[in-house]
């Protein structure tokens, strides 16, 4: 059982380049989300999805696109990379809404992105 798998683990981009961060989960989880982690700022929500075909914006969505064509996959697209997008990106998934007894949020191991 792989859990949440993120690829690549490391990436360096030049300003203006585009790329897609991949995220896949094999737990049949409804909910998937993307966070970015910056020093002193905790984890900030970029986009999330409550099921295939449904996505919504989080706290810091600008410069990022997402789609959810299948339950398993939730890619994050950087349209035109900027140095401010240098960060560690985490994908997470969970079975359902936040309630006692429900599965906790499961995180991948992150993608470390540097934009020069």
Residue 14, interface with another protein (CB under 8 A)? Answer: no
Q: Kindly indicate which of the ranges 16-24, 76-84, 93-101 contains the residues binding another protein, using the contact rule CB under 8 A.
A: 93-101
47: phi then psi, degrees, rounded to nearest 5: -145, 160
CA–CA distances in Å: residue 18 to residues 74, 77, 79, 80: 17, 7, 5, 5
Residues numbered 16 to 55 that lie near another protein (CB under 8 A) are: 31-33, 35, 40-45, 48-50
DSSP-based helix, strand, coil % in the chain, nearest 5: 5, 50, 45
Q: Shortest CA distance to 70 belongs to which of 41, 18, 32?
A: 32
Residue 92, interface with another protein (CB under 8 A)? Answer: yes
Residue 14, both tokens: 């030049």
State the binding string over 59-88 for another protein (x if CB under 8 A, else -). ------------------------------
| Binding residues for another protein (CB under 8 A) | 4, 31-33, 35, 40-45, 48-50, 56, 58, 90, 92, 94, 96-100, 104-105, 107-110
């Amino acid at each position: 059982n792989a859990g949440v798998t993120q690829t690549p683990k490391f990436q360096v981009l030049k300003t203006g380049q585009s790329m897609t961060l991949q995220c896949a989960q094999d737990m049949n989880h409804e909910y998937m989300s993307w966070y970015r982690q910056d020093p002193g700022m905790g984890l900030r929500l970029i986009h999330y999805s409550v099921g295939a075909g449904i996505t919504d914006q989080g706290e810091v969505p600008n410069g990022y696109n997402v789609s959810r064509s299948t339950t398993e996959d939730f890619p994050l697209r950087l349209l035109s990379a900027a140095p401010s997008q240098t960060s560690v990106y985490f994908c997470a998934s969970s079975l359902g809404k936040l309630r006692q007894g429900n599965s906790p949020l499961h995180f991948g191991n992150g993608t470390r992105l540097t934009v020069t």
